[in-house]
Chain A
């Protein structure tokens, strides 16, 4: 019996190519991932590592599966927690809601029964996934109070 996963889903008005770029290009990543940059060749079996703004290693892992513009799976070993690596999956699908919308699903699983890493990342993922959406739809991750709704087309008329 595996421990519960974390699952996050959002729809983003973008293309698979742009979403893939946002997930794999360190210049994009650092804008929504608390300033961290990941480096990897994004090839199966190769390493992935993420460094915080000070250049210190934040987490590292290995690419388990990589299908550009569709799916990437990697192990996630958080530095300083002494836990065996967990597993992160990014999946890109066409959203059911309409053309031009992608569904991004992030799954984080394979945690230990008691996992401080799980508690830690469950605070971070909603902000990361919201940042990816904001970056692709508005060009910035600035989350402003009172920003217009992404899918609202009609302006308010009273």
Chain B
């Protein structure tokens, strides 16, 4: 679990996970597109995410596609969040989202 937290403790790596969450199954080239990071830096970050099992890769012909693997994050969730708290937390998150949206200028 240390590896997962270390991998998540970096803004660039979280940004890469966000991009995969928005669109799963991207190549290295697609992930680099529009990012303010060198290809080498993205490769290194993806390696760390893959070692922590937060990213899974699947070969498609000559391409390597990257997928967000939510299993380690799920494991963090079940470790500290009780089964019956999930719904209340969802409601709370929804409330926060709504209130914050309404307060945007």
Interface residues of A (CB under 8 A from B): 4-11, 105, 107, 126-127, 129-130, 143, 145-147, 149, 152
Contact = CB atoms under 8 A, between A and B. Distances in A.
Contact of A147 (B23, B53, B67, B79): B79
Contacts of B58: 5, 7, 107
B71 A10 contact: yes
Contacts of B83: 143
B56 A105 contact: yes
18 contacts: A5-B24, A5-B25, A6-B24, A7-B58, A8-B56, A8-B69, A9-B53, A9-B69, A107-B58, A126-B71, A126-B74, A129-B71, A130-B71, A145-B79, A145-B81, A145-B82, A146-B80, A152-B1
B9 interface: no
Contacts of A147: 79
Given A4-B23, A9-B71, A130-B75, 12 more contacts: A4-B25, A5-B24, A8-B69, A9-B53, A9-B69, A10-B53, A126-B70, A127-B74, A130-B78, A145-B81, A145-B82, A152-B1
Given A130-B78, A143-B78, A146-B79, A7 B1 contact: no
